[in-house]
Structure 1
């Protein structure tokens, strides 16, 4: 299926937005970027990428607009697009939390086709210098499919995501936010706690710190204001924290009573190994919203969106 995107506007040229702009050019699609940060704009321009002087100028003539700024700036960016979108243009985003973005875009751009997105890619470094065109290769990319989402536009964006080497995962905003609470929000909170706990042990511990401490606290290097946008306002995160705390309390109580952490270590080891080695199988899917959301809910993703004489055929993978 050809997405037909002729011009992509990327609003926000940090790690993810910058990587999208680079990926778009690598795919042979015209792209233009904008960022309120003049340094980011100048860096992209000096690297040979087309940039615009404003949100409105970037959006003009684009048939796909990507909101790639931090969550607090999304509402203002969406409002700045009013009256500047081409007929039939699709708006998407790359934010970690989906429900706040869905609500903001609905409020500021009523009637505009919006498909929320979240590429599960990136590193702890930020900004244009960290961006790269291969960032999304084999990365999961959640695409929100709500009751009011235009299915044809969703399929068009899913095809684009496949074309740039990523794996679109159909989901609702609520499902995606509940999932990332445990695999993004929680790991960041634990990394901050680990970094502080290690520091509290004094200089000897920090000198002896090796792979486990460095790996566990690695994402604590992320800019704090970004971490808050991935955690604050997600109603599923406190429950995820409760679950993690219960495991820690169980381990603490076992050790205080002369017991062992073996049961926790066994269960955690099995969970990690099973995740690393989970088996998947190919499937064919109908272009049906409910079926697609169910596919994503069971851990499946899309590998191709094919336009055939009798309609759209989707190929995908799902865990066995």
Structure 2
């Protein structure tokens, strides 16, 4: 964990709900000098009771820090970014944990912060909210998307090293648009479908009978519907066009299933379900190959950036990032594609 002067990083977390609180508590337990800030005075008092400095203002919390995590609601991020940037040194790395990336990445570029803002998204969560739901283990080993930009490679390296060191993160480097496209299917649409299924049950005349029979399939399929509706709405609206496009694809797949069911065609129905099973099995059984790549630390970063984005788009991730001797070395993992047949 390298700070601005070569020592241990001093970190601040702005917004200490489920994700921000989990980031902060893990950093605290790792022995990192970390401060937190939340707009809720009661939450700031709770942070103080847990041994974390929690000043009354954002400016006090982020002053003199090497890294700042922005963890508030999605609509607030561009304004919070500007406020934090105005208070911190130009060498301070800024990142966020929001579930959509294109909008905040554009805001950072517009504000002239592309050299030190690295959009981020840890792929973890829970169906509860607030500091009381946060835990030191929530983000342990999580896939953590970072979106490196052409002027921000030094910031990306510092942040990636910290995440790997403290959180054992599998850092997934992607462009912001590619993240939002992938997250639409991996995260956002499942929230929408879970809400649709649970909402249909809520409207059913047999609601209580359905809930009496509900077991693993209903519980697993609707888990994320238990989260705060406002948080889910912000996420869906922040990625609206991509979610709507993927929703059309899901509708088309449902139409195929319905057509096979209506026709009483067991072969076609089983075939469509088998496609889904293939993806589900691959989720739990993927194998990876490891490799290392080295780039000059101070040279033109176009090749390094292209490599990182291609790695993430191919389903790969990083478990090592080390800068030494004028070079940056990545330890990377790519999924093995099983042979057909």
Q: 1:230 to 1:251 in 2, by over 3 A?
A: same
Q: Which residue of 2 aligns with 1:293?
A: 309
Aligned match of 1:249: 255
Determine whether 1:51 maps to 2:54: yes
| Aligned ranges 1:226-265 → 2 under 5 Å | 226-234=231-239, 235-260=241-266, 261-265=269-273
Match of 2:155 in 1: 153
For 1:45-84, list aligned pairs within 5 A: 45-84=48-87
Matched ranges for 1:1-320 at <5 A: 2=2, 4-108=7-111, 110=113, 113-148=116-151, 150-164=152-166, 165-201=168-204, 202=206, 203-234=208-239, 235-260=241-266, 261-287=269-295, 288-320=304-336
Secondary structure of 2:65's counterpart equals coil
Q: TM-score if structure 1 supplies the norm length?
A: 0.94
- Indicate the larger mover: 27-36 or 265-274: 265-274
Unpaired runs of at least 5, structure 2: 296-303, 337-341
SS at match of 1:33: strand
Distance change >3 Å, CA 230–CA 111, structure 1 → 2: closer
* TM-score where L is the length of structure 2: 0.89
Structure 1 unmatched ranges of 5 or more: none
| d(CA) in 1 for partners of 2:253, 2:275 | 11
State the secondary structure of the residue aligned to 2:320: strand
CA distance in 2, matches of 1:109, 1:310: 27
Number of residues paired by the alignment?
319
Deviation string, structure 1 residues 40-80 (Cα, Å, up to 9, x no partner): 21221222211111111111111111110011111221232
Q: How far is the alpha carbon of 1:307 from its aligned partner?
A: 2.9
Shift, 1:233, TM fit: 3.4
SS in 2 for 1:81: helix
8 A contact 1:5–1:64 mirrored in 2 = no
How far has the Cα of 1:197 moved from its partner? 2.1
1:281 deviation in Å?
Answer: 0.7
Alpha-carbon distance in 2 for matches of 1:316, 1:111: 24
Distance 1:308 1:62, change over 3 A: closer
Q: What SS does the aligned partner of 2:87 have? A: coil
For 1:13 and 1:91, locate their aligned partners in 2 and report how far apart those are by CA, in whole Å: 16
TM superposition shift of 1:111: 6.4
Summarize deviations over 1:209-250 as a string: whole Å, max 9, x none: 111111101100110111112211322211211111111111
Q: Secondary structure at the match of 1:135?
A: coil
Deviation at 1:85, TM superposition (A): 0.7
Deviation >6 Å, runs of 4+: none
Residue 110 of structure 1: how far off its partner (Å): 4.3
| Contact kept in structure 1, 2:108 and 2:114, CA below 8 Å | no
The alignment partner of 2:221 has SS state of helix
3-state SS, counterpart of residue 286 of structure 1: strand
Partners of 2:33 and 2:112 lie apart in 1 by 24
Superposition deviation, residue 310 in structure 1: 4.9
- Any conservation in 2 of the 1:91–1:112 contact (CA below 8 Å)? no
